[in-house]
Homo-oligomer: A and B are copies of this chain.
């Protein structure tokens, strides 16, 4: 139930139509919280119905520009502060559990593939960082924090995948002695 909060968040700075918000999603939050057109329009109507946003201008072509209400701002803050740990699924990691149904060589290749995917994503984020399209306020400031998270995540993934490939390819299926561990 976080699409609604993403929408509320985007409406903090500027008001905008569903159309605007969808574009904003695609350019700013796409990596973190993708959303489809259908979903956005539906949710906007629901938010409107609940009084968390409201139409501030009606323009051409049936355009409805929404703005945040006081209740909406309150709800956004509530969501930020409340910490609820939701279980997160990771398909890529799930695959790791079943690696051994593949011949060793294929398993190694799969892990190295993951390493390359991670490296490519890392490169993509570096490119994004260097475009300088860091326009307006909130998203630019906090977007940098999120970007840094992404950079660290992808680096970690790449290193881990290479390490794991080494483990699998080492020829010793059982009795994995610790290779590279963190400070614990």
Q: Are B164 and A148 in contact (CB under 8 A)?
A: yes
**Which residues in A have some Cβ–Cβ distance to B below 8 Å?**
2, 5-6, 9, 12, 28-34, 73, 76-77, 79-81, 83, 85-91, 93-102, 106, 110, 113, 117, 122, 126, 137-146, 148-149, 151-153, 155-156, 159-160, 163-164, 167-168, 173-174, 176, 181-184
Q: Are B126 and A101 in contact (CB under 8 A)?
A: no
Instruction: Please name all residues of chain B whose beta carbon is closer than 8 Å to the beta carbon of A173 when the two chains form the complex.
Output: 141
Q: Are A98 and B182 in contact (CB under 8 A)?
A: no
Contact pick for A97, options B99, B138, B153, B182, CB 8 Å: B138
Instruction: Please name all residues of chain B whose beta carbon is closer than 8 Å to the beta carbon of A126 when the two chains form the complex.
Output: 184
Q: Are A102 and B117 in contact (CB under 8 A)?
A: no
Name 21 A/B residue pairs within 8 A (Cβ), A-sorted.
A9-B98, A12-B101, A30-B87, A32-B89, A32-B90, A34-B87, A34-B89, A76-B98, A76-B101, A81-B110, A83-B117, A86-B91, A88-B90, A96-B149, A100-B137, A140-B174, A141-B173, A145-B168, A148-B181, A151-B181, A153-B153
Instruction: Please name all residues of chain B whose beta carbon is closer than 8 Å to the beta carbon of A139 when the two chains form the complex.
Output: 97
Q: Are A152 and B156 in contact (CB under 8 A)?
A: yes
Ranked 9 nearest A-B pairs via Cβ: A9-B98, A34-B87, A155-B182, A145-B164, A32-B93, A156-B156, A33-B94, A97-B142, A100-B138
Contact pick for A98, options B138, B156, B183, CB 8 Å: B138
Q: Taking A32-B94, A88-B90, A98-B9 as contacts, is the C-beta distance between A167 and B151 under 8 angstroms?
A: no
